[in-house]
Amino acid sequence: MSTVDPKDLAAFAEQADAWFAENVVRDPGFMLPLTFMEVGTDPQFNFLRDWQNKVWEAGYLGAAWPKAYGGGGLPQAFQTAATRAMRKHHGPIMLNAIGLNWAGPLLLEMGTEAQKAAYLKGILSAEDIWCQGFSEPGHGSDLGSAQTRAVRNGDHYVVNGSKIWTTLGRYARYMILLARTDPSTERKYDGLSFFLMPMKAPGIETVPIRKLTGEHGFTQTFFTDARAPAEGLVGPEGGGWKVAMRTLEYERGARGGQAGGYVSVGANAFDVFDLAQRTKRGGRPVLEDPHVADEMVGFLMEIQALTLNGQRTQVPELIADRPQGIPLASKLMGTEMSRRLNDFAVRLTGVRGAYYVDEPEAADNGLWARNYLNSFSATIGGGTSQIQANIVGEHVLGLPKS
């Protein structure tokens, strides 16, 4: 990367600011999902796909990815500025999360030239939606025990089995798939391979899963003699575990290189603070209750600490003792905080805490109750909080495996 000319960067940031000010649509006429995991209807999907495409065409997504693959070829600071402008103007989320944040940076790092050329541009433009096939019905957190089989047959593999919690499964054109190519290895991890799997192919069926919120968003994916092209292997056959672990590092934000933007606008403590300030109970502002006020302060301190943690990782001297500590623990801290915060928000609304989405008397149309129920997607998906605690305990604190 070339060095950043502050004047160029400032001009770019100004353009981005003006662009988002003009182009963000606040209310498309239906409730927009807060995260890419909550896309449940075709209007939501189509709106967000068009939005991502528009942002990319304007140069504010993938600005730091190489030009050859549809990116802007600029230093990371430019994408950071664009994302900041997007956030400032409350732009909707980027839809193609698994492509933009996980598969994309993974391919940039370890994909073949042909793979980069074939897939990266479609990720940015949202023409090709991506999904992830890691978890299986019988193996959620225990990814290494995946049983979906892939058997080599000439220039392709034949896949049989099932994957679950496939976000955007209905819409996806490609899946990053972890499958077992060798069931006889001594270590279960050594029998796994990592594929770029076309989804619109014979032998693949997606069945919607209804979430605890009542909405649809995930699918279960069934493979019956489906074909995975051999050129879609990432890494060597039998080397899939390492690639999957790398993918999880991208997913958990422990490693950079993502295309930019954000894929969730989950309520933060400041939104809940706003709720608290306008909520009354018995005719009095709810924050006059010292117990409620104390809890609110606790959450503001916690979210501030997470922001400061992020800033501190930029100061090598202040993370010297455990450089990987904050990055590896950030998913655990952030998602657990969010879950508790949304629970607090529901309770803040008092009697209305009994209402749910679409009840006319519900506070903020029932948003908080839905947020709370949805917050478990983050404390469970991508490795449960309990698995995260094991990771931090073992890889940061040096404790033996459980």
Partner 1 sequence: MKDLGRIGFSEDQASLLEVATDFCQRRSPVATVRRLMENEAGHDPAVWTELGDLGWLGVAIPEAYGGSGLGLAEVVPLVEQMGRRLMAGPFVSTTLVAQGLIAGGTEDQKREVLPRIAAGEAAALALAELDTDWEADSIACTATRQADGRLTLSGLKVLVTDANAARRILASVRLDGAPALVLLTPEDLPAGALRRETVIDETRRSFALTLDGVVLEADQLLDPGRARAALEHLHLAANLLAAADMVGGTQACIDYTLDYLRTRTQFGKVIGSYQALKHPIVEAYTRYEQARSHLYSAAHCFNEQGTGEIAVRMAKAAADVAYSFAADRSIQFHGGFGFTWDCDAQLYRRRALWHAAQFGDAAFHRKKLARLLF
Q: Which residues bind partner 1 (CB under 8 A)?
A: 270, 273, 277, 287, 290, 293-294, 296-298, 300-302, 304-306, 308-309, 311-312, 314-315, 317-318, 321, 325-326, 329, 332-333, 386, 389-390, 392-393, 396-402
Rank residues 11 and 308 by Cβ distance to partner 1 and give the closer one: 308
User: What's the closest the beta carbon of residue 168 comes to partner 1, in angstroms?
Assistant: 31
If the CB atoms of residues 46 and 386 are measured against partner 1, the closer one turns out to be 386
Nearer to partner 1, 110 or 306 (CB): 306
Smallest separation (angstroms) from partner 1 to the CB of 329: 5
Residue at token pair 């994302």: 83
Beta-carbon contacts of residue 119 (< 8 Å; ≥ 6 apart): 99, 103, 104, 107, 111, 128, 174, 196
Output the smallest distance, CB 321 to partner 1, in A.
7
Q: Which is nearer to partner 1, 287 or 357 (CB)?
A: 287
**Is 273 or 376 the residue whose CB approaches partner 1 more closely?**
273
Torsion of CA 26, 29, 30, 36, to 10 degrees: -40
Give least dist CB 296 to partner 1, A. 7
- Closest separation in Å from C-beta 32 to partner 1: 24
Structure tokens at 399: 């404790």
Please choose, from the candidates 371, 377, 370, 38, the residue with its C-alpha nearest in 3D space to the C-alpha of residue 216: 38
Q: Which is nearer to partner 1, 18 or 297 (CB)?
A: 297
Residue 300 C-beta: closest distance to partner 1, Å: 7
Q: How far is the CB of 344 from partner 1 (least distance, A)?
A: 15
Residue 378: which of 267, 304, 298 has the closest Cα? 267
Q: How far is the CB of 310 from partner 1 (least distance, A)?
A: 9
Q: Which is nearer to partner 1, 144 or 257 (CB)?
A: 144
Contact assessment for residue 207 and residue 66, using Cβ atoms and an 8 Å cutoff: no
86 vs 91: CA distance, rounded Å: 5
Q: d(Cα 216, Cα 38) in Å, to the nearest integer?
A: 7
Buried b / exposed e over 107-139, threshold 16 CB at 10 Å, is: bbeebeeebbebbbbbbbbbebbbbbbbbbeeb
Structure tokens at 30: 């239906």
Nearer to partner 1, 25 or 301 (CB): 301
**Residue pair 175/132 in contact by the 8 Å Cβ criterion:** yes
Instruction: Give the separation between CA 348 and CA 86, rounded to whole angstroms.
Output: 29
Integer Cα distance of 341 and 337 in angstroms:
6
How many other C-beta atoms lie within 10 A of the C-beta of residue 17?
17
The CB-of-231 to partner 1 minimum distance in angstroms stands at: 41
Name which of 207 and 254 has its Cβ closer to partner 1.
254
